[in-house]
Amino acid sequence: MSSIENHIAVIGAGPAGLMAAEALAQGGTPVTVYDAMPSAGRKFLMAGRSGLNLTHSEPLPAFLARYREAAPKLEPIISAFPKAFKASPLLRAWLRRLDSQGVRFAFRHRWTGWDESGRLRFQTPNGAQTVETRATVLALGGASWPRLGSDGGWAELLAARGVAISPLRPANSGFTVEWSDIFKDRFEGRPLKGVEFKFGTQAIRGEAMVTRSGIEGGAIYALSAELREAIAKSGEVILHVALRPDLGAAELQSRLAAPRGKQSLSNFLRKAAGLSPVAAGLLQEASIGSGKSLAALSPKDLADLINAVPIRCTGTAPIARAISTAGGIAFDELDENFMLRRLPGVFAAGEMLDWEAPTGGYLLQASFATGLAAGKGALRWLAA
């Protein structure tokens, strides 16, 4: 087992870790970023393949509300985060800048905890290695997308040191639905567009995708926290979808009262109500569940159903398929510098912390902000 001396170690080369490394480098501190994967920011790059929202322009009070219970803890650091940070640097330019600042990278280094002397332990292609540091920033992500490096293995290591960890749960996830064989065979992978999903007091317009085992997509992700908690409590929930939220009840009923003639029901629904095949298929699924034929419904009852189709969600998709992770290190375990109270000199940032947020810039904003806070916190602690 070899040993390497290093001033500051950042473990995790995602957005939070890179931001912490930049803060440390700008503070004049030598820093090495360790990551188990062969390259930096793999989840960051995957998330940005179809366009990447680095921040969100929503007014601050509404923005902070997206973080739910963690909002009071995140408010000071998000408020202080630079508003001018834009998408233009992107990952490769960011890495070049870090390189110019003297930040070193050690890839294929999987952190496995501490040895009896408090040195960091890593498993590398060349065997076990220990690293002695003055301080460490942990930015290991959550437990979603484990094939890209975020596998949540750190939770057990920290819990063994007495750090309180809220259970890791899927966030921005899909949900399981027991579709009929006919429906899933025909509509797997088909999108629902321009619809509105309703659960409890929330109503979210957007898109979703039918999967073989359920439903996922942006509008579903926005409701995922509430759906997940309700399913955990009662075992299943009913999610409602308005297929034509832009049409009022009277207008929709009037259209459906027109004579159908010899048209098939699906063709009539397409012409009269503007329903796509997958939307009409959802109506058929609802009729199977209710035991009532769609053809037997009055125009009023059919109009009511079109804008309140029930979808019975029976479970949450596995965390490995989720966009992000809920749970993690409790904020009470951190001091004002984002240092773990039980582990002096060890700081934490990013999805490791107990917060969750919807997609659309919120996830990255909190990762950037907590990474910056942890990096600056480490500098203050070293200077004390």
Give the domain CATH number at 367.
3.50.50.60
pLDDT of residue 88: 42
Instruction: Please say which residue of 297, 316, 335 terminates a domain.
Output: 316
Is residue 67 within 8 Å of residue 44, measured between CB atoms? no
Nearest to 58 by CA among 350, 362, 288: 362
Question: pLDDT for 277-295, tens place per residue?
Answer: 999 999 999 988 777 888 8
CATH code of residue 304: 2.40.30.10
Residue 321 counted as domain residue: no
Low-confidence stretches of the chain (pLDDT < 50) are 48-54, 82-89
Residue 336 counted as domain residue: yes
Residue 215 counted as domain residue: yes
Instruction: Please say which residue of 268, 292, 316 terminates a domain.
Output: 316
pLDDT of residue 57: 54
- Say yes or no: 34 and 130 in one domain: yes
**Quick one: what percent of the chain has pLDDT higher than 90?**
70
Residue 197 counted as domain residue: yes
- Say yes or no: 163 and 21 in one domain: yes
- Say yes or no: 158 and 182 in one domain: no
- Say yes or no: 159 and 220 in one domain: no
> pTM of the prediction?
0.83
pLDDT of residue 73: 79
> Is residue 233 helix, strand or coil?
helix
- Say yes or no: 34 and 156 in one domain: yes
pLDDT of residue 44: 66
> Is residue 374 helix, strand or coil?
helix
The enclosing H or E element of 121 equals strand 120-124
- Say yes or no: 163 and 262 in one domain: no
- Say yes or no: 290 and 342 in one domain: no
- Say yes or no: 141 and 180 in one domain: no
Instruction: Please say which residue of 290, 316, 342 terminates a domain.
Output: 316
Average pLDDT score, the chain: 88
Is residue 47 within 8 Å of residue 362, measured between CB atoms? no
Range of the domain at 135: 2-170+326-383
Please count the structural domains in the chain.
Answer: 2
Residue 30 counted as domain residue: yes
